[in-house]
A and B are shown apart, each in its own frame.
Chain A
Amino acid sequence: MKRVIYAILIFVLIFGFIKACIRRDTADADLAKSTNTKSNELIFPQDQKTVTIEGIDYLQSQAPIGNFGGTFTASTIGEGPKTFNPFNTKDNISSILSEIMYDGLLTTHPVTGQPIPKLAKSFSISDDGKSYNVKLRHGIKWSDGKPITADDVVFTWREIILAGLGNTSIRDSIIIDGELPTVEKIDDYTVKFTTPKPFAPFVRMLSTPIAPKHIFESAAKKGSQYFDTFLSTNTKPEDFVTSGAFKLKEYIPAQRVVYERNPDYYIINKNGEKLPYLDRLVYLIVGDLNNEVLKFEAKELDTINLQGAKVARYKAMEPHSDFTIYNLGPNTGTLYLAMNLNNRKNDKGKFYVSPEKQIWFNDVNFRKAIDYAIDRKNMVLNIANGIGEPLFTAESLNSIFLNKDLQPYDKDLNKSRELLEKSGFYWDKKGRLFDRFKNRVEFDMLTNAGNTEREAIGVMIKQDLEDLGMKVNFKPIEFNSLVNKLVNTLDWDMIIMGFTGSPLEPNGGKNVMMSDGTLHVYNMRTEKDKNSPRYDFEKKIDELFVKGALATKFEERKKYYDEYQKIIYEEKPFIYIYSPTIIVAVRNKFKNIFPTSLGGVMHNIEEIYTEE
């Protein structure tokens, strides 16, 4: 009996093996994929405008009228908020989540990127570019019923921002020649800001939230240590007094943040009814991208940002699913390769970068040769699954300051070889690259471990450079250690990193681009090297950033920032790689969805409504 079973088993195995070996070559039925892509042409409503009804200056939405009620669920990736005090936030997520509750005087036009009034009724900039007159809305209130007046604005700026409470980054970014701007109250509904010199980026700072004086005043008086813990994540939701469309209802650590509608918000629809339409806004706190997708698939989320292969999946599902996909163009991040141009010594008298490498890295031909060797096209195809665009400029592709004259180009190894030869590099019989002092060209390339995208880019760049005969030791290292190398020990050769940039204000990147910046990655200067000599192109960029900040007209500023992008494009201290495209999916039951590259899906959250 047993033998029979064994015999059958062996027979089945052999049969299976043969079956697996024999495959007939028949042409695939051409799967004509239905390409019924919906056209997602958005017709944007007119801009919101101010209307005055019974002495109250409302902001009126021009979007189609919708139903009240419903919940919109979005997500944030990471650990969740660290504070709900918009003046204490140091990370992006806390900023987003706290600024939902506190409106700023101005906001950014979601399409043009220009500053437009929000909490302010109107604003004007004087001809000399130094003073900003801001008129407030009459009759609008904090969530506890107290009116929002010039006192709140003056208090926020004088006692919090300019006094250096909480996160001082805004304050530090508007110190102009050692002087701070001033604020004064003209009357109850007018405030005047004055900068010591014309300083164009200042207008963007007016989007900073405004705090209710009667709540924040006592905290501000108790000093910075107390203020750091004020309105933390442990504060009871009832204790928030807010001006935004939504107000905190509950915060469950590591799970979600729930907001409820502000019933007395100052934006109204065309019928004069107070917005927002939605009763609730929920942010789920998800740990990683993977979990976010799963939650969207399980319909726990109403919107999601998509990358890479997921886009294809959702695109295919779109026609018979309950969501729509919007392509918002390239994102604001820049992904780059940089070489360490540092030619100084550390405290112990040792060079940060060994002298022979310094010669290579400081040679613009060498940098360009590397640039031409990089296969951006295949990186976009393989790593971003085609959902992205090669990047060559320091400003991101959706920046309003993007220099469009800088042309993209393809990988060109011959050009790389030419450039290397020009600088005296040569190859031996085995194709290995040596410099003119007979040193083998070999260096380390770092990126942060655990980031699949960057690791994959690293693997590809390593191969690209090895095609040129260089020896590249590619080492993904732990994120924190990498940052430590970048800003403290400075002992690295080449890195692959990314920055999130601002598409609206190049001056936001001055910490990266200016030679004394805290993130001047390719040539970090420690305290003692503060006054060390600059490269010519570094000097030029410094100059352009100063000029760009002081100029007041957009066209004039654009000229300076175009110039700086051109210098980076030619000198290649940063070699940009590609920009992923932002693709979002939103459930169809939500209407008045007008996502833009600058504002994302949620910029008009008060206008969004659900049909159910």
Chain B
Amino acid sequence: MKEIITQLIKDKFAKIALILLGLMYLALFFADFLAPYTKDFSDRTMAYVPPSKIFTIDENGQLSKPYTYNYTREFNQDTLEMDYKLNRSKKYYLKFFSSGQPYKFLGLIPMKRHFVTVEPDGRLFLLGTDINGRDVFSRLLFGGRISMTIGFLALFVLFPIGLLYGGISGYLGGKVDNIMMRFAEAVMSIPSFYLLIILASILPSGMTSIQRFILIVVILALIGWASFARVVRGMVLSIKNQEFVQAAKSIGQSKLGIIVRHILPQTTSFVIVAMTLSVPSYILSESGLSFLGLGIQQPDASWGNMLKEAQEFTNIIYRPWLLTPGFLIFVAVLAFNLIGDTIRDVLDPKSRVR
């Protein structure tokens, strides 16, 4: 373990990736505090407003406390266009660490403080707003909580299943092994993306957002366990004849006990490598599902469903701030991949895990 960390820090790319991911998760943890608004806050007179402009030098050229103006929106009958203009009649000063919209920190502790807010009636949209006039910056933070945890959660469902399944199959061998492996192969033979969307499309409607989130995690796990179990089985096959296993057997430990206590721990390095390398693929899967409208649903936010809105042609050209979730997905996935690559090189350079 220590070696992994020293290697990660030694490698420049991995170090940067680690710092980036650390910052991201930190920001997501404190999302309620960092976000100027709550997830569902919307100002419908402010749809598709560009990012707020923050001024530190006022119109007279004097240094000033940072302030911003609100945008006003008007429909121009001639150009059939929405015109957004700064309403310079009133300045709204930024306030740090002051109270704003109430929220529950981590869903538990009621709080009001936000890192940055703006004076009453002012609107601070650091990354503009979406179609419903919701603050993109705040939603990025809340959406990130979903997107960045969905992969990990899926792994926590998938790995025990895969480990146990592969372990049992490999250890017992014979007919059991044969049947178990045929079944796993059958699951693997169904093209995974289609299996994913078929499963996602049978999710019963009328679920709460938490139920939906959990079920999507389960579905993602259902897709991945089989190939993982197969590799574990292969490793178990080679481990089970080693001396310490024979020794455990001879002192009369139960089969399950041997598998869990003696054989599976030997696969740790493989598991770690496989884990870090598969988190990004789940982040991408979630965005793919959301692209098809089968992932996390409105009004909840996830990077995937935010990106879906952004990918419309006019949005890409005129509202680039909507593309930020795509950028964050990119950074997160890249960072995970770099870390995964480094860990693999340390633990198991010949590993075929992709």
Q: Give me the interface of A with B, judged by CB distance under 8 Å.
A: 21-28, 33, 35, 37, 289-290, 293-294, 297, 308-313, 315-316, 375, 378, 381-383, 385-387, 444, 446, 449-452, 455-456, 458-460, 462-463, 473-478, 480-482, 485, 583
Interface residues of B in 62-76 (CB under 8 A from A): 66, 73, 75-76
B78 within 8 A of A: yes
Determine the distance from Cα of A309 to Cα of B82 in the docked complex, in whole angstroms: 8
Residues 91-107 of B at the A interface (beta carbon under 8 Å): none
Shortest beta-carbon distance from A317 to chain B in Å? 11
From B58, B75, B79, B294, contact of A25 by CB (8 A): B58
- Cα A451 to Cα B308 in complex, Å, equals 11
The number of A-B residue pairs with CB atoms under 8 Å apart is 128
A426 nearest CB across to chain B (Å):
25
Determine if B47 and A309 form an interchain contact, defined as CB atoms under 8 angstroms apart. Answer: no
| B186 CB within 8 Å of chain A | no
Whole-angstrom distance between the Cβ of B247 and the nearest chain A Cβ: 52
7 residue pairs of the A-B complex, CB under 8 angstroms, read A22-B57, A459-B42, A459-B132, A476-B297, A477-B206, A478-B201, A583-B80
User: Given B42, B44, B294, B313, which contacts A294 in the complex, CB threshold below 8 Å?
Assistant: B313
What separation, in Å, do the CA atoms of A24 and B206 have in the docked complex?
50
Complex Cα distance A346/B142, Å? 41
B44 x A382 contact (CB < 8 A): yes
CB distance from B113 to the nearest CB of A (A): 22
Report the Cα distance A161→B150, complex, angstroms.
Answer: 55
A21-B54, A474-B298 are known contacts; what are 9 more A-B pairs with Cβ within 8 Å?
A: A22-B56, A25-B58, A297-B313, A382-B47, A386-B80, A449-B297, A475-B297, A476-B293, A583-B80
Chain B positions within 8 Å of A26 at CB level: 59
Tell me which residues across on chain A come within 8 A of B131, comparing CB atoms: 382-383, 452, 456
A23 to B86, CA, bound (A): 14
- Contact A382:B80 (CB < 8 A) given known A25-B55, A459-B42: no
Known contacts A23-B55, A24-B55: A450-B82 contact under CB 8 Å: no
Q: In the bound complex, what is the Cα–Cα distance between A331 and B79 (angstroms)?
A: 20
The residue in chain B whose Cβ has the minimal distance to the Cβ of A381 is B75
Find out whether the CB atom of A463 lies under 8 angstroms from the CB atom of B79. no
Chain B residues packing against A (C-beta within 8 Å): 42, 44-45, 47-48, 53-59, 61, 66, 73, 75-76, 78-82, 85-86, 88, 131-133, 201, 205-208, 292-294, 297-299, 308-309, 311-315, 317-318
Query: In the assembled complex, how far is the CB of residue B302 from the closest CB belonging to chain A, in whole angstroms?
Result: 13
Q: How far is the CB of B85 from chain A (nearest CB, A)?
A: 8
Give A480's nearest chain B residue, CB to CB.
B201
A23 B205 Cβ-Cβ under 8 A:
no
Q: Which chain A positions have C-beta within 8 A of B293?
A: 449-451, 476, 478
List chain B residues, Cβ under 8 A from A310.
313-314
Closest to B75 in A: A386
Cβ contacts under 8 Å, B53 to chain A:
23
Complex contact A476–B298 (CB within 8 A): yes
Q: How far is the CB of B157 from chain A (nearest CB, A)?
A: 23
A478 lies within 8 A of B82 (CB): no
Q: Give the complex CA separation of A386 and B83 in angstroms.
A: 11
B205 and A458 form a contact (CB under 8 A): no
CB pair A27–B44 under 8 Å, yes or no, is no
Centre residue among A25, A28, A312 by max chain B CB count within 10 A: A25
Pair A378/B45 contact, Cβ less than 8 Å: yes
> A23 to chain B: which residues have CB within 8 Å?
53-57
Residues of chain A contacted by B207 (CB below 8 angstroms) = 475
From the candidates A37, A290, A385, A444, name the one contacting B206 in the complex (CB within 8 A).
A444
Question: CA A34 – CA B187 in complex, angstroms?
Answer: 62
Q: How far, in angstroms, from A378 to B44 measured CA to CA in the complex? A: 7
Residue of chain B at shortest CB distance from A312: B81
